[in-house]
Structure 1
Amino acid sequence: MREEHGHIVLELRGEIDIASAAEISPLLDRLTGREHARVVLDLRPVEFFDCSGLRLVSRARHRVLERGGRLHLVCVHPLTLRVLGVTGLTRVLPPHPTLESALRASGGS
């Protein structure tokens, strides 16, 4: 996790499954519980992403929008993109190929 151009960038790595989601969820809830939070979830280093990851992303999106913030997603892994697309999440949270494009979309650079 780091701050960049007024955004909190959370880079997730490895496998996002039920066990890792349970570890990530409290931190993500803290970040998305702030008023007007600007959060970027960087999934580029993720190698495995299942329904637990979908729940994390969906919950984060809902919490940020409730509080007047913005959430952007960075993802290039074909299988993760497929999971996001099949569920329709990419329609409401389009993934960016780079961190820079996500920050630009949110007015952060």
Structure 2
Amino acid sequence: MSTNEANAAGVVHAGAADPRIRIDSTHTEAGTLVTSVTGEVDQATSAQLCQELNNLLDEHPAMVVLSLEDVPFLDSGGLDVLVNLQRRAHAEHVPVRICAPRRGPTKLLHLTGLDVAFDIYPTVKDALAGTTNAGSPFA
């Protein structure tokens, strides 16, 4: 994701303590938090991602766009992170949009029925605009 693509005001957080996962976040001028995750989201890395997302939600963004473009693998720990993010954001009236999940994570979201619980977009640009059909890529 390029800075121009997100109209970012600047990087808020970058990186993570565990080298197996990288979390990069920016805020757009409209106050949307765009977070890109790189690496596998599994039992070993999910706690760190959950903590980082909670820290970012403490900043009260207008919306959260979570890019999974560079997440080749997602397990039940990763699903738990997504569900917890959605619950907290919903309680705080913050929309969450997931974008660009690869085939593996997309299939897991579909098999668990969570694909209907999230607004899913093919790109960050589409998620920011909200103009592409959201929902299951299997629909």
Q: TM-score range by the shorter chain?
A: 0.7 to 0.9
Residue 103 of structure 1 corresponds to 128
- Structure richer in helix, relative to its length: 1
SS, match of residue 128 in structure 2: helix
* 1:10 paired residue among 25, 35, 43: 35
Residue 61 of structure 1 corresponds to 86
Residue 51 of structure 1 corresponds to 76
Question: Which segments of 5 or more consecutive residues in structure 1 lack a partner in the other structure?
Answer: none
Map of 1:85-100 to 2, 5 A cutoff? 85-100=110-125
* 2:106 paired residue among 77, 81, 84: 81
Question: In percent, how many aligned pairs have the same letter?
Answer: 26
* Partner Cα distance (1:52, 1:37) in 2: 26
Q: Are 1:40 and 1:73, in contact at CA under 8 Å, matched by a contact in 2?
A: yes
Deviation of 1:10 after TM superposition, in Å, equals 1.0
Higher relative contact order (CA 8 A, sep 6+): 1
Q: Larger radius of gyration, structure 1 or 2?
A: 2
* 2:56 paired residue among 31, 39, 55: 31
TM-score between the two structures when normalised by the length of structure 2: 0.70
Q: Are 2:35 and 2:66, in contact at CA under 8 Å, matched by a contact in 1?
A: yes
Q: Are 2:33 and 2:61, in contact at CA under 8 Å, matched by a contact in 1?
A: no
Question: Which segments of 5 or more consecutive residues in structure 2 lack a partner in the other structure?
Answer: 1-24, 132-139
Deviation of 1:32 after TM superposition, in Å, equals 2.8
**Corresponding residue pairs, total:** 106
* Partner Cα distance (2:93, 2:113) in 1: 22
Deviation of 1:22 after TM superposition, in Å, equals 1.4
